[in-house]
Amino acid sequence: MTSQVQPTPPGLLRRIRDTLVLPPTLSAFEQAYLARMNRIALWFFWGHLPLLTALAWINDTGPLFAAALTLAVLAGPTVAYRSLRSPRAISMVFGFTAMCMGGVLVHVGQGPVQIEMHFYFFSVLAMLALFANPMVILTAAATVSVHHLLLWFAAPKSVFNYDAPLWVVLVHAAFVVLETIAACFIARNFFDNVIGLEKKVEARTAEIAQRNRDMRLVLDNVRQGFLTVDGQCRLSSEHSRIVDTWFGGYEPGETFAQLLGRADAKLGAWFALSWESVTDGFLPLELALDQLPKRARLGERHFAFDYQPIGDASGQLEKLLIVVSDVTSEVAKAESDAQQREILAVFERILNDRAGFLEFYEEAKRLAKASLANPAADWSATKRHIHTLKGNSALFGLEAVARQCHAIEERLAENDMPGVQTELAQLERRWNALSTTIDHLLGQQGQELVTMTGEEYDGILRAVVDGAEHADIARKLVDLKLEPTEQRLGRFAEQARALAQRLEKGDIEVAVDGNGLRLERERFADFWSSFSHVLRNAIDHGIEPPAQREQSGKPPRGRLELRTFEHGGEFVIEVRDDGRGIDWEAVRKKAEEQGLSAQTQEQLREALFCAGVSTAAQVSEISGRGVGLAAVKDSCAHLGGAIDVRSESGRGTVMQFRFPLTAVATKPLVTSSKN
């Protein structure tokens, strides 16, 4: 069209043009609508033929002439209807036709009511709005104008004395113009809001589709998965593609619990249960949502779940947006941080107490090897090893290892053997990585160092200077390779204090007295390793929290004594606490549960050291599996020792480990010198 070729007219003109000229494309709906309207219009105008003829006959204004005139007018729209392709063009022909019909009507209806016949023009002009095209109305208005102009310019003015007052003509023109404007406006609105609606909807739909595509592009390219569930936890079909990758896709209408359940049955069950709280309405919604699973490990990946409730006006939960994030790398980072911290702890230990750490490390290596090489060979042994490794690791600051051991124990307790294998593999990886680092830190690994105090050095020097017996000097030197029990107990004391803090038992007092005794490090390695269980028991089960102690009239600080001494030809290691004492009734119950007889005090004491008997109600990382004391008993027996337990309810417990002197101390001198 010319308007597209010409430079854009500005402002009002442009707006008028845009109002009058419809957008060039025809929707299918408009096509169908106009086809129908044009057909109706053709019928309508053909209907004028008998009417006008009859009117002319009645009015005595020449029915034949009227019929001929009407037919001549009908020729145009009939040909246009049959031959023009554009329905809008046909409509415009009808606009012209309508005005001509008006002319015929006024002519054949001449007489006293001729003026009334002019109503036809106004009503038919309004009816043309049905074509939803302002151009049709403009065509009609233009037709009227052209006819008047023709009259004005072509009629011989010399002959005619155009007497109609000018104001009458102007009033008529004004009415036509007003109606034309209004009808154009109506037609355009009709087009925009009804006829063109489909096109609008199409455009809007296309726009929305585009926006959806953009949205999807975003959704599919973030590292988070988005899905929504309705009030029944059913998943909607819209979701990020990555969800399919992670969870293997789903059918719309499935619940999120089912989706999770396919990946991990336990997790699915947990979610389903948590969801019940969301829907049953007993708990506050906020709490119920807070208790939905937040993290999960599916295979090698770790996921975090975030929930955004979408409520309606009444605060009812309408939808829930679930944001799933793959936090595998974050978890890996946290683990690597934990490993880093472990290495730091190791480093600190090596600096402070190289010997003690070495000993722990040698044993830990042994335990790890024993549990990891063939765990299925003897599950109870594996369980024990893991438990000891857990306890020792915790004491030496290897928190990640301790946690991993705890995870294995959890799986073992639930008889989840595939889970156990997974966790064991994890432990193995961690342990291997850690031990490589430790070996590196230790440098000349396995080389035992001899440490001595200045006092000991002076003693040996004096003996040499004084010309003491060679055997005496040799014995002093051998003793140097032995470990002072006080040093060992000192380490335990330190660990015990730390443990008490962790278990909220307050700042306990630990007294250490080695009485200058020494023990052979290697022979007692096993015993010392299991000895930590005794300490843990004393602190976890024995010593009460400060508040409780005060209630029982005890000093708020718990007290633990670690001593070694010689008594009656025996070497005694003693642990004494002032806690609540052993709950023998609970031991009896547990023992009976395990099928042990627990009638006499002797049997009860036996039961206390049996695997599987623990009086702790809560299983924690620290103690409670009834494995620890059994390990102590084993290692004690191995050295030919005996255990003595005295416990007074409410007052405390004394545990003594007694070894014949032949098993300890000086003996190795002889053997070693002979060797």
Partner 1 sequence: MTKILVVDDSATMRQQVRQVLTGGGFEVVEAVDGQDGLAKVTADKDVKVMILDVNMPRMNGIELAEALHANGRMAAGLNVVMLTTEGHAELIARAKAAGAKGWIVKPFKPDLLLAAVKKMAA
Partner 2 sequence: MTTLSHSTRGARRRERWTLGFLAVWAAGASVVMATLMASHWVALPRPERDDPRLNASLASLPRDEQHARWRMHHVLYAECGCSRRVLEHVAARARTDDVDEIVLLVGEDDEFARLCRESNLRLEQVSKEQLEQRFGVEAAPLLVITDPSGATRYCGGYTDRKRGLAYQDLATLARLRAGEQAAPLPVYGCGVTNSLQAALDPLGLKY
Q: Footprint of partner 2 on this chain (CB under 8 A)?
A: 59-61, 65, 69, 72-73, 75-76, 79-80, 83-85, 93, 96, 99-100, 103-104, 106-107, 110-112, 114-115, 143, 146-148, 150-151, 154-156, 159-164
State the minimum distance, in angstroms, from the CB of residue 608 to partner 1: 17
Options 82-90, 273-281, 319-327, 489-497: segment touching partner 1 (CB under 8 A): 273-281
334 is an interface residue for partner 1 by CB under 8 A: no
Out of 163, 286, 300, 466, which residue is the one contacting partner 1 (CB under 8 A)? 286
SS3 236: strand
Binder of residue 284, out of partner 1, partner 2, none (CB less than 5 to 8 A by kind):
partner 1
What is the spatial distance between Cα 56 and Cα 72, in angstroms, rounded to a whole number? 16
- Least distance between partner 2 and beta carbon 42 (Å): 15
Query: What is the nearest approach in angstroms of partner 2 to the Cβ of residue 308?
Result: 57
Element (H, E) at 19: helix 11-20
Do residues 642 and 547 lie in contact, with contact meaning Cβ atoms separated by under 8 Å? Answer: no
Q: In this complex, which beta carbon is closest to partner 2, that of residue 139 or of residue 339?
A: 139
> What's the one-letter identity of residue 603?
Q
The dihedral region occupied by 115, where left means phi > 0, alpha psi between -120 and 50, and beta the remainder, is alpha
Residue 477 identity? L
Q: With respect to partner 2, which residue has the nearer C-beta, 90 or 539?
A: 90
In the block, residue with structure tokens 């309405």? 281
Q: Which three-class secondary structure string do you get for 66-86?
A: HHHHHHHHHHHHHHHHHHCCC
Shortest spacing between CB 63 and partner 2, in angstroms: 14
Residue 506 contacts which entry, partner 2, partner 1, none (Cβ below 5-8 A, type-dependent)? none
Cα separation, 535 vs 549, whole angstroms: 19
Which span sits near partner 1 by CB under 8 A: 148-156, 189-197, 275-283, 454-462?
Answer: 275-283
Candidate residues 284, 311, 516, 640; the one interacting with partner 1 per rule CB under 8 A: 284
Q: Which does 277 bind (CB under 5 to 8 A by kind): partner 1, partner 2, none?
A: partner 1
The option from partner 2, partner 1, none interacting with 557 (CB < 5 to 8 A, set by class) reads: none
Nearer to partner 2, 150 or 209 (CB): 150
Answer with the entry of partner 1, partner 2, none that 159 interacts with (C-beta below 5 to 8 A by kind). partner 2
Q: Judged by CB under 8 A, how many residues of this single chain contact partner 1?
A: 23
Instruction: List the interface residues with partner 1, window 573-612 (CB under 8 A).
Output: 586
Please report how close the Cβ of residue 278 comes to partner 1 at its closest, in angstroms.
11
Of the pair 86, 205, the CB lying nearest partner 2 is at: 86
> Which residues have a Cβ under 8 Å from the Cβ of 497 and sit 6 or more positions away?
507, 508, 510
For residues 269 and 239, give the distance between their C-alpha atoms in angstroms, rounded to a whole number: 22
Out of 216, 234, 262, 266, which residue is the one contacting partner 1 (CB under 8 A)? 266
Q: Which does 111 bind (CB under 5 to 8 A by kind): partner 1, partner 2, none?
A: partner 2
Minimum separation from the CB atom of position 553 to partner 1 (A): 16
Question: Which parts of 520-549 interact with partner 1 (CB under 8 A)?
Answer: 545, 547-548
Q: Which amino acid is it at 165?
A: P
Query: CA-CA distance, 152 to 30, in Å (whole number)?
Result: 39
Residues 293 to 322 in contact with partner 1, rule: CB under 8 A: 293
CB nearer partner 2, residue 39 or residue 204: 39
User: In a 3-state reduction of DSSP, which class is residue 245?
Assistant: helix
Cβ(564)–Cβ(601) below 8 Å: no
Distance CA 325, CA 16 (A): 55
User: With respect to partner 1, which residue has the nearer C-beta, 276 or 456?
Assistant: 276
CB of 61 to partner 2, least distance (A): 6
The least CB distance from residue 37 to partner 2, in Å, is 19
CB of 219 to partner 1, least distance (A): 29
Residue owning tokens 């036709």 = 97
Only one of the segments 91-99, 159-167, 284-292, 514-522 lies at the binding site for partner 1 (rule: CB under 8 A); that segment is: 284-292
CA distance 610 to 112: 128
**Binder of residue 150, out of partner 1, partner 2, none (CB less than 5 to 8 A by kind):** partner 2
CB-CB contact of 395 with 539 (8 Å): no
Beta-carbon-side half-sphere exposure of residue 176 (alpha carbons within 13 Å): 20
Is 173 a binder of partner 1 (CB under 8 A)?
A: no
Tell me how far, at minimum, the Cβ of 585 lies from partner 1, in Å: 10
User: Pick from 83, 618, 671, 675: which binds partner 1 (CB under 8 A)?
Assistant: 618
Residues of this chain, 189-208, that bind partner 1 according to CB under 8 A: none
Candidates 92-100, 274-282, 324-332, 397-405; binding stretch for partner 1 (CB under 8 A): 274-282
Backbone CA torsion sign across 173, 175, 179, 182: positive
Please state the φ and ψ torsions of residue 531, each to the nearest 5 degrees.
Answer: -60, -30
Q: How far apart are CA 562 and CA 573, in angstroms?
A: 8
Tokens representing 501 are 């803090």
Rounded to the nearest 5°, which phi and psi values hold at 215?
-60, -45
To partner 1, the closest distance from the beta carbon of 378 in angstroms equals 28
Q: How far is the CB of 284 from partner 1 (least distance, A)?
A: 4
Rounded distance between C-alpha atoms, residue 339 and residue 430, angstroms: 8
Binder of partner 1 out of 276, 335, 428, 513 (CB under 8 A): 276
Site for partner 1 in 499-518 (CB under 8 A): 504
Q: Minimal CA–CA distance to 587: which of 626, 560, 622?
A: 626
CB 565 within 8 A of CB 517: yes
Closest Cα to residue 536, out of 585, 495, 584? 495
State whether residue 378 is helix, strand or coil: coil
Q: How many CB atoms lie within 10 A of CB 132?
A: 25
CB of 557 to partner 1, least distance (A): 17
Task: Specify the DSSP element, H or E, that contains 592.
Answer: helix 584-593
Question: Which listed range, 214-222, 269-277, 399-407, 565-573, lies at the site for partner 1 (CB under 8 A)?
Answer: 269-277
Instruction: Tell me if 439 sits within 8 A of 365, measured CB to CB.
Output: no
Contact partners, residue 614, CB within 8 Å, separation at least 6: 590, 623, 624, 625, 626
User: Rule CB under 8 A: which residues touch partner 1?
Assistant: 266, 269-270, 273, 276-277, 280, 282-284, 286-288, 290-291, 293, 504, 545, 547-548, 586, 617-618
